[in-house]
Structure 1
Amino acid sequence: MNEKKTTIIETAIHLFAEKGYFSTSIQEIASEAGISKGAFYLHFESKDKLLIDIYRYYYEKMSTLLDRIEQKKLTPRRAFQTQIEFLFAEVSKHKEFIIMHFQEQVLPISHEVRQFVYEKKLEHYNWQKRSLLSIYGQEAERYIPDLILLFEGLSHSLFKLLLLTKHPLSPKKAATYLLRRLDNLAEGLVAGAKSRSSPNRVFNS
Structure 2
Amino acid sequence: MNEKKMKLIEAGVKLVATHGYHNTSIQEIASEAGVSKGAFYLYFQSKEEFIQTAYRFFNTQISQRFASVKQENIPPKEILEKQLTILIDYIYQYKAFIIMHLRENISVGQQTDKLMRQMKMENFHWMRETLEHIYADKVETLIVDAIIQFEGLMNGYFKWIVIDNIHIERDKLSAFLVRRLDDIVYGMLESKEEALTTIARIPPEYLTENQTMEQMISGSLFRLNENIRQLDVNPAKIKQLLEVVDAIEKESDKTETSPVVIQGLLAHFNRFKELQEECEQLARILQVELLH
TM-score, normalised via structure 1 length: 0.90
Cα distance, 1:85 vs. partner? 1.5
- Asked if residue 108 in structure 1 is aligned to residue 102 in structure 2, the reply is no
Distance 2:104 2:60 in 1: 18
Cα distance per residue 1:32-84 (max 9 Å; x no partner):
11111111111111111111111111111111111111111111010001111
Distance 1:166 1:10 in 2: 19
Distance 1:186 1:10 in 2: 38
Compare 180-189 and 47-56 and name the one that shifted more: 180-189
Q: Which amino acid aligns with 1:84?
A: L
Q: How has the CA–CA distance of structure 1 residues 113 and 166 changed in structure 2, closer, same or farther, with 3 Å as cutoff?
A: closer
Provide the residue aligned with 2:55 in structure 1.
55
Distance 1:188 1:168 in 2: 29
Residues 30, 40 of structure 1: 8 Å contact kept: yes
- Asked if residue 24 in structure 1 is aligned to residue 24 in structure 2, the reply is yes
- Asked if residue 202 in structure 1 is aligned to residue 196 in structure 2, the reply is yes
Residues 88, 170 of structure 2: 8 Å contact kept: yes
Cα distance, 1:176 vs. partner? 2.1
Distance 1:157 1:85 in 2: 16
Q: Secondary structure at the match of 1:22?
A: coil
Distance 1:17 1:11 in 2: 10
Moved over 2 A (4+): 164-167, 188-193
Distance 1:88 1:34 in 2: 29
- Asked if residue 131 in structure 1 is aligned to residue 125 in structure 2, the reply is no
Distance 2:122 2:37 in 1: 36
Can you give the 5+ residue segments of structure 1 that lack an aligned partner in the other structure? 194-198
1:30-179 alignment runs, 5 A limit: 30-105=30-105, 107-179=106-178
Residues 14, 97 of structure 1: 8 Å contact kept: yes
Instruction: Give the number of the structure with larger relative contact order, counting CA–CA contacts within 8 Å between residues 6 or more apart.
Output: 1
Residues 141, 195 of structure 2: 8 Å contact kept: no
Cα distance, 1:200 vs. partner? 4.9
Residues 13, 100 of structure 1: 8 Å contact kept: yes
Can you give the 5+ residue segments of structure 2 that lack an aligned partner in the other structure? 201-292
Provide the residue aligned with 1:189 in structure 2.
188
Q: CA RMSD in A?
A: 1.6
TM-score, normalised via structure 2 length: 0.65
Identity %: 35
Distance 1:166 1:97 in 2: 14
- Number of corresponding residues: 199
Residues 48, 108 of structure 1: 8 Å contact kept: no
Cα distance per residue 1:168-192 (max 9 Å; x no partner):
1122222222222221221133234
Distance 2:27 2:17 in 1: 17
Cα distance, 1:103 vs. partner? 2.4
Cα distance per residue 1:82-135 (max 9 Å; x no partner):
111111111011100000011242x23321111112111111111111111111
Cα distance, 1:161 vs. partner? 0.6
Distance 2:118 2:12 in 1: 23
Distance 2:112 2:47 in 1: 13
Larger Rg: 2
